[in-house]
């Protein structure tokens, strides 16, 4: 009897040895009580394994179907992640830049105290379009998320809808704020909002908004109508 169990005991018990390997092990087994005892212990396990049916190949196309389903799951996950990123980004813009459609204030010739403070703390630019007669005064203040913008607008007739757009030096556009112009306009000389001169005087529209661009990245501002008409262009730098 040898002092160490033969390494082929388990393989012989389950019939995994080749014919010549099995013969050599049987010759060893004839003189080794330790391997004979080990083989006897493994016999019930070998019997149970013999009852296990052999693995069957999956139906044709199974692998392709599983890969297709995995690809579809990954595509859905990517769409969900994109929607989540868009939702979070939109929420952040609303939180820091205020809604695009903002409240407006009708005021006389004298700016409110808040407007005067804004003009002092920020850079102020203004322009008058010689064709439309629309006059705009814009105050910009740098903030952590971009630029806070205050607009004072006169000489706009209505009814119409307008946007203030910031135009970057790279040509990109961002809507700063939007508003509606009533039928009698804002200081346009055609109704109760007109000033004594009837042209650009009297009440004006004042509104505020913001853009993610920094003041240094803004080339100019444009007041445009919903139909695409440009009412006035205001350079972002004092000329």
Please, what are the averages of pLDDT over each run of 10 residues along the chain (239 residues)? Answer: 64 77 79 79 69 68 79 76 63 51 47 41 85 92 92 90 93 92 76 36 78 93 92 85
CA 96 from chain center: how many Å? 16
Q: How many CB atoms lie within 10 A of CB 163?
A: 18
Q: 162: which 2 tokens?
A: 């307008």
Rounded Cα gap, residues 164 and 149, in angstroms:
10
Q: Each residue of 138-156: pLDDT tens digit?
A: 999 999 999 999 999 999 9
Q: What is the pLDDT of residue 111?
A: 45
């Amino acid at each position: 009897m040898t002092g160490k169990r033969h390494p082929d005991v388990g393989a012989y018990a389950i019939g995994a040895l080749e014919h010549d390997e099995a013969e050599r092990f049987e010759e060893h087994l004839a003189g080794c009580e330790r391997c004979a005892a080990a083989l006897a212990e493994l016999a019930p396990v070998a019997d149970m394994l013999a009852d296990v049916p052999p693995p069957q190949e999956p139906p044709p196309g199974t692998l392709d179907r599983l890969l297709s389903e995995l690809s579809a799951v990954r595509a859905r996950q990517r769409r969900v992640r994109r929607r989540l990123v868009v939702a979070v980004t939109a929420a952040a813009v609303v939180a820091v830049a205020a809604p695009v459609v903002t409240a407006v204030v009708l005021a006389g010739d004298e700016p409110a105290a808040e407007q005067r403070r804004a003009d002092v703390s920020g850079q102020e630019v203004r322009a008058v379009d010689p064709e439309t007669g629309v006059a705009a005064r814009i105050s910009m203040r740098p903030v952590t998320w971009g630029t806070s913008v205050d607009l004072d607008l006169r000489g706009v007739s209505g009814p119409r809808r307008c946007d203030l757009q910031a135009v970057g030096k790279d040509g990109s556009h961002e809507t700063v704020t939007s508003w509606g112009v009533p039928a009698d306009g804002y200081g346009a000389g055609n109704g109760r909002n007109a000033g004594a001169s009837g042209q650009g005087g009297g009440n004006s529209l004042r509104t505020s908004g913001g853009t993610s661009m920094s003041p240094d990245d803004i080339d100019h501002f444009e007041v445009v109508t919903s139909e695409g008409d440009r009412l006035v262009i205001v350079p972002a730098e004092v000329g």
